[in-house]
Structure 1
């Protein structure tokens, strides 16, 4: 997200100029050299900036300009891995089936409040169902 916001700032700054190098971006106080390099790469990947080299400057410092292409909106949440397509392709249900329970037993420990000898004893199980 920070790179996206910095790229918007940089593209606005570049729109006011014909072209600029990373050192000029840094000298303007816009951002650090490392951040400017990262932001320029991000903008180039998304087509919002391009590298221009003409004549003698092709061997020197690279210059960049804004293409006018807007940056895509950043993702609001990270895309998690989803196996829903595979599960449905293999015929596996996404909700587990509810299986009926025929008989259940509930055990309850009875506390008489007496001393520890024989105070806790197992009570006869109750059958449910």
Structure 2
């Protein structure tokens, strides 16, 4: 958000000039050099600013100008990580499929220690269906 607000300030400043370099932006007191570099890159990515000295004639400090293209509105909520594209590309279901349940059996061991006085302590095996 801060970069967006700074970019709006820079574009307003650039609109009053033919072109400017990052060092000129810094010398004007608008922002420090690191912030100016970041803001210029942000404006260029969004098409609101362009570099005017490209190629072999670009020796020395680069100059930028305002293109007149408005910056897009910043996102109000941060974009969360989404793996939906990978899941669909790999054929992984988002919801697990309902699989038919196999008939199950529960085995319960009863302890009949009172009935088994002095005998072995093994219980009876009871089958619940």
Normalised by the shorter chain, which TM-score bucket? 0.5 to 0.7
Residue of 93, 103, 110 corresponding to 1:90: 93
Q: Which residue does the alignment assign to 1:37?
A: 37
1:91 to 1:62, Cα distance in 2 relative to 1, 3 A: closer
Q: Which residue of 2 aligns with 1:62?
A: 62
Give the match for residue 72 of structure 2.
72
The number of residues matched between the two structures is: 93
CA shift, 1:57, in A, is 5.5
Q: Secondary structure at the match of 2:50?
A: strand
Who wins on radius of gyration, i.e. which is larger?
2
Once the two structures are superposed, residues 60-98 of structure 1 have per-residue CA deviations (whole angstroms, 9 ceiling, x without a partner) of: 1100000000001111111123467859x72627xxxxx
In structure 2, C-alpha distance between the alignment counterparts of 1:12 and 1:75, rounded to whole Å: 21
Superposition TM-score, scaled by structure 2 size: 0.63
Q: Secondary structure at the match of 2:72?
A: coil
Residue number in structure 2 paired with 1:25 = 25
CA distance 1:77–1:54, change in 2 (3 Å): closer
Q: Deviations over 1:29-64 (max 9, x none)?
A: 000011000000000000000001179852111000
TM-score by length of 1: 0.63
